[in-house]
């Protein structure tokens, strides 16, 4: 099983989900295609198994770093550095988890959406855990919005970094932190805005 996942993971990372066939995976592992289907059912489920393994490795790396933080700002810094460390040290896992050749619908698309939602909840929970208890309960919408923005920015910056590597992984992480951290520090120190005033400008 692990040998199959390793081979499939390598092919998906190198060529993208759309270009890889079950015949190629079976040949790489040294088994027949019927046996591969007997284990995993289809290519979609084999990819999902690889994606979940990569995602678990990413969240574990980030979780270990964030657990040592004592404030939202520290959690952000530790999490972003861990994210880029993971990207730099295991690019195959990144390529599988954020594969741009994935279909927009079907089982794979649904499971990818579920897994990314899980990562988003993890980011939100990490930020919420560092907020003062007095504001934590009323900050749900703001935390969700901030987590979405941070995760989206990290993914976009990572894609840019992988294309040209004009900065080191550490420098890319520091750039994102320097952009986002001041706002997070300010929000964690002030009351959450009244949600009934959506769309209104501050007085």
pTM: 0.75
Indicate the pLDDT class of residue 151, thresholds 50, 70 and 90: confident
- Say if 16 falls within a structural domain: no
pLDDT in tens, 61-115: 888 888 887 777 788 888 889 999 998 998 888 888 888 888 888 888 888 888 7
Q: How far apart are CA 120 and CA 39, in angstroms?
A: 30
Mean pLDDT of 105-128: 78
Q: Do 151 and 123 meet the contact criterion of CB atoms below 8 Å apart?
A: yes
Which CATH number fits the domain that encloses residue 108?
1.10.357.10
Query: Given a cut of 60, is residue 201 above it in pLDDT?
Result: no
* 73-79 contacts at long range (C-beta below 8 A, 24 or more positions apart): 73/181, 73/184, 73/185, 73/188, 74/130, 75/126, 75/127, 75/129, 75/130, 76/127, 76/150, 76/177, 76/180, 76/181, 76/184, 77/177, 77/181, 79/123, 79/126
Domain count, the chain: 1
Q: What is the pLDDT of residue 65?
A: 86
Residues 54-68 pLDDT 10s: 888 888 888 888 888
pLDDT at 58: 86
pLDDT of 199 strictly over 50: no
Q: What is the pLDDT of residue 131?
A: 66
Instruction: For residues 165-187, give the mean pLDDT.
Output: 84
As a whole-number percent, the residues of the chain with pLDDT over 90 amount to: 28
Distance (Å, rounded) from C-alpha 49 to C-alpha 115?
12
Average pLDDT in the chain: 82
Is 181 part of any domain? Answer: yes
Residue 164 included in any domain: yes
Domain that holds residue 125: 48-191
pLDDT value for 104: 82
Domain assignment present for 18: no
> Distance of CA 138 to CAs 69, 134, 165, 194, 199, Å?
22, 8, 40, 9, 18
**pLDDT > 50? residue 39:** yes
């Amino acid at each position: 099983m692990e040998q199959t996942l390793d081979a499939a993971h390598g092919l998906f990372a190198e060529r993208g989900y759309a270009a890889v066939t079950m015949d190629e995976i079976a040949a790489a592992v040294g088994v027949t295609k019927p046996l591969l289907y007997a284990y995993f059912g289809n290519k979609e489920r084999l990819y999902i198994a690889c994606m979940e393994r990569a995602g678990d490795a990413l969240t574990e790396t980030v979780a270990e770093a964030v657990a040592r933080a004592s404030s939202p700002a520290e959690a952000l810094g530790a999490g972003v550095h861990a994210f880029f460390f993971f990207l730099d040290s295991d690019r195959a896992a990144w390529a599988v988890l954020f594969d741009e050749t994935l279909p927009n619908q079907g089982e794979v698309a649904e499971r990818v959406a579920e897994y990314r939602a899980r990562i988003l909840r993890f980011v939100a929970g990490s930020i919420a855990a560092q907020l003062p208890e007095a504001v934590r309960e009323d900050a749900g919408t703001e935390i969700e919005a901030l987590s979405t923005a941070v995760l989206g920015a990290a993914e976009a910056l990572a894609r840019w970094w992988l294309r040209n590597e004009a900065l080191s992984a550490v420098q890319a992480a520091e750039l994102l932190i320097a952009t986002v951290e001041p706002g997070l520090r300010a929000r964690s120190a002030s009351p959450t805005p009244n949600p009934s005033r959506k769309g209104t400008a501050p007085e």
